């Protein structure tokens, strides 16, 4: 079973939140303390975060594609869950245009029309490329999140650690077998020297 250890979470800097002046009171159950104006997230309670920041886009795409899952790594479209019928029609348009592109049919269009279609295709790929296989609305309520797990979404290593562990668990659950041991060991090699220095500073302050 894919399990992320406390050591991995700390080394990836998952516990670093935003500056105290930017906090949302709803996050109070997940805050352990604050250090030097930065909130420290309680890792005993939290494991995962969700976001579409630039730092996360490539990692989310890679890990989702690795385990065959859906993903949104650009921006959350309005109505994605509440008006899926409309979203699905756009997904079907994306699939249709990609099929025409693959068959060479688009190349037969006038230059101006071809340029317009390609702009549309690029926009659809950017926003809906990770949802092409989604044929029905996921079994979820957009107003409720089963596991709210905030974390450091500014550090690529933090994003990579969490998404890779989730992808591993997804693959194991679907295939019924664990990933190769060497792959899991590779995921565990997340080291941040800067974090160690900060942790030492925190320890010194507590003495």
Using CA atoms, how far apart are residues 186 and 50, in angstroms rounded to an integer? 23
Residue 10: name the closest of 205, 207, 200 by CA. Answer: 200
Using CA atoms, how far apart are residues 125 and 91, in angstroms rounded to an integer? 9
Using CA atoms, how far apart are residues 200 and 207, in angstroms rounded to an integer? 11
Rounded average pLDDT over 136-146: 51
pLDDT value, residue 178 = 52
Of residues 173 and 1, more confidence is placed in 173
Q: What is the pLDDT of residues 27-55, one digit of tens each?
A: 666 666 666 676 666 555 433 334 466 87
Coil, helix or strand for 139? coil
Rounded average pLDDT over 140-151: 52
pLDDT value, residue 81 = 65
pLDDT value, residue 62 = 81
pLDDT value, residue 190 = 47
Kindly give, in sequence order, each residue whose CB lies less than 8 Å from that of residue 21, ignoring residues fewer than 6 positions away.
37
Using CA atoms, how far apart are residues 200 and 206, in angstroms rounded to an integer? 10
Q: At what angle do helices 54-67 and 156-175 cross, to 10 degrees?
A: 20
Domains, in order of start, for the chain:
84-131 (1.10.287.610)
Rounded average pLDDT over 66-83: 72
Residue 9: name the closest of 203, 146, 150, 172 by CA. Answer: 150
Rounded average pLDDT over 55-69: 76
Rounded average pLDDT over 56-82: 74
User: Which of 73-82, 94-103, 105-114, 146-155 comes out lowest in average pLDDT?
Assistant: 146-155
Rounded average pLDDT over 4-20: 59
Rounded average pLDDT over 170-191: 55
Rounded average pLDDT over 149-163: 71
Q: What is the pLDDT of residues 87-123, one digit of tens each?
A: 888 888 899 999 999 999 988 889 899 999 899 888 8
Please check the confidence at residue 205 and state whether its pLDDT lies above 60: no
User: Which of 90-104, 106-120, 151-165, 173-187 comes out lowest in average pLDDT?
Assistant: 173-187
β-strand partners of 186: none
Coil, helix or strand for 31? strand
pLDDT value, residue 166 = 74
């Amino acid at each position: 079973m894919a399990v992320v250890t406390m050591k991995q979470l700390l080394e990836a800097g998952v516990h670093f939140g935003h500056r105290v002046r930017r906090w949302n009171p709803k996050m109070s159950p997940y805050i352990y303390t604050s250090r030097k104006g930065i909130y420290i997230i309680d890792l005993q309670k939290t494991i995962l975060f969700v976001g579409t920041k630039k730092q996360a886009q490539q990692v989310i795409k890679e890990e989702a594609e690795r385990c065959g899952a859906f993903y949104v790594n650009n921006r959350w479209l309005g109505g994605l869950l509440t008006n899926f019928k409309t979203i699905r029609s756009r997904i079907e348009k994306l699939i249709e245009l990609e099929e025409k592109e693959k068959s060479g049919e688009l190349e037969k269009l006038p230059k101006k029309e071809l340029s317009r279609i390609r702009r549309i295709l690029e926009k659809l790929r950017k926003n809906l490329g990770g949802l092409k296989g989604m044929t029905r609305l996921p079994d979820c309520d957009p107003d409720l999140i089963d596991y709210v797990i905030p974390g450091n979404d500014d550090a690529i290593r933090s994003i990579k650690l969490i998404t890779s562990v989730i992808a591993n668990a997804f693959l194991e659950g679907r295939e019924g077998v664990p990933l190769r041991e060497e792959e899991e060991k590779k995921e565990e090699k997340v080291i941040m020297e800067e974090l160690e220095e900060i942790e030492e500073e925190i320890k010194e302050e507590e003495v």
